[in-house]
Chain A
């Protein structure tokens, strides 16, 4: 049982790119793509901390008496995928509502229009 250092480094790099996209891009859809990148980096991290070269798949009976891959990260990755799908669907609905109301996916323009609306009301 070992781990893959290059996989962990790649996961950290993906996490960095995802955070940059999430913070710097103004487009809401691109922000959601950044969130997807962060999710992928989590999955890559979980898989690579328990990566074993030449391990058999964790389904019994194991042929040729080799080492079985650790099934725990695979079970956790399953949760990560389902939660990501749920979050993405819900976030897309919120983006759709914002686009219908303000006719843009630019977060700064939406912010300034919301500020103008609140100033008009007050």
Chain B
């Protein structure tokens, strides 16, 4: 049984390696051509200084929307399967010292602010909605390590959190569809880009970044809180 499995694995490995080597060696990658042409066109079309943001929120916007749907479905799955089975015996949380608790509570607003900044300036500097949401959620996780996840969860109104969690992807999807209904090209910005490098310079990329940031913030918190609720505190 085990030997057959090993033979199967090694065959799989050899086939994959052969395929990869074949692809990597046969595809001719251009060298020394300078930068691709689309970079400058993209920058002038979207008005965003961060070219990565202008790709994943303009040129490949539908890809990002599907990525967000996969994230939402995973969060839904985690919540569904964890809420079905309640923990039988949950280890008691270990109380942290006053210094850790006070400093975590003091740090949380700044981490939240940093997350909002990263999401809001994602089209001008490194960052974006995903990074900003993760930073803000890590601040919440710091609080839940220090003062306990239940204490943090009591401060959050759960029904409105759940409503917001599903309203945000729907808003993002409808924002992507509205330009089509208005007769514009499907991937064009809903609000026309102004250019110039200000915070409102890139039209709807700012809006998408903020909405994705809030969505990732809520989703990460739901996943982490689900695990803590089920398996106990760290």
A interface with B by C-beta (< 8 Å): 1-3, 8-9, 12, 15-16, 19-20, 23-24, 49, 57-61, 67-68, 70-72, 74-75, 78-79, 81-83, 85-87, 89-90, 92-94, 96-97, 100
> Which residues of A sit under 8 angstroms from B5, Cβ to Cβ?
23-24
> Can you name the residue of chain B whose Cβ is closest to the Cβ of A55?
B35
CB of A74 within 8 A of CB of B52, answer yes
CB pair A79–B67 under 8 Å, yes or no, is yes
Interface size, chain B (Cβ < 8 Å)? 52
Of the candidates A2, A61, A71, A82, the one whose C-beta lies within 8 Å of that of B67 is A82
- Cα distance A24–B21 when bound, in Å? 23
Instruction: Tell whether, in the assembled complex, residue A100 and residue B81 are in contact, meaning their CB atoms are under 8 Å apart.
Output: no
21 contacts between A and B (CB under 8 A): A1-B32, A1-B36, A2-B32, A15-B16, A19-B12, A24-B6, A49-B29, A60-B43, A71-B52, A71-B54, A75-B60, A78-B128, A79-B67, A82-B67, A82-B70, A89-B75, A89-B78, A96-B82, A97-B81, A97-B85, A100-B85
On whether the beta carbons of A90 and B74 are closer than 8 Å, the reply is: yes
Q: Are A78 and B56 in contact (CB under 8 A)?
A: yes
**Please, which residues of chain A bring their CB within 8 A of the CB of B39?**
58, 68, 70-71
A-B contacts counted at CB < 8 A amount to 118
In the bound complex, do residue B24 and residue A12 qualify as a contact, i.e. CB atoms below 8 Å apart?
Answer: yes
Rounded to whole Å, the gap between the CB of A13 and the closest CB of chain B is 9
Contacts of B124 in A (CB 8 A): 59
> Complex: how many Å from CA A75 to CA B160?
32
Partner of B13, one of A1, A8, A9, A16: A16
| Interface positions of B (Cβ within 8 A of A) | 5-6, 8-9, 12-13, 16-17, 20-21, 24, 29-36, 39, 43, 49-52, 54-56, 60, 63-64, 67, 70-71, 73-75, 77-78, 81-82, 85, 124-126, 128, 130, 223, 226-227, 230-231
* Chain B: CB-nearest residue to A68: B35
Partner of B16, one of A16, A60, A82: A16
CA distance A97 to B75 in the complex (A): 16
Q: Contacts A16-B13, A59-B51: A89 and B74 contacting too (C-beta < 8 A)?
A: yes
Residue of A nearest to B72 (CB): A86
**CB-based contact B36/A12 at 8 Å:** no
* B9 and A23 contacting across the interface, CB-CB below 8 Å: yes
Complex Cα spacing A20 to B36, Å: 37
CB closest chain-B residue, reference A60: B49
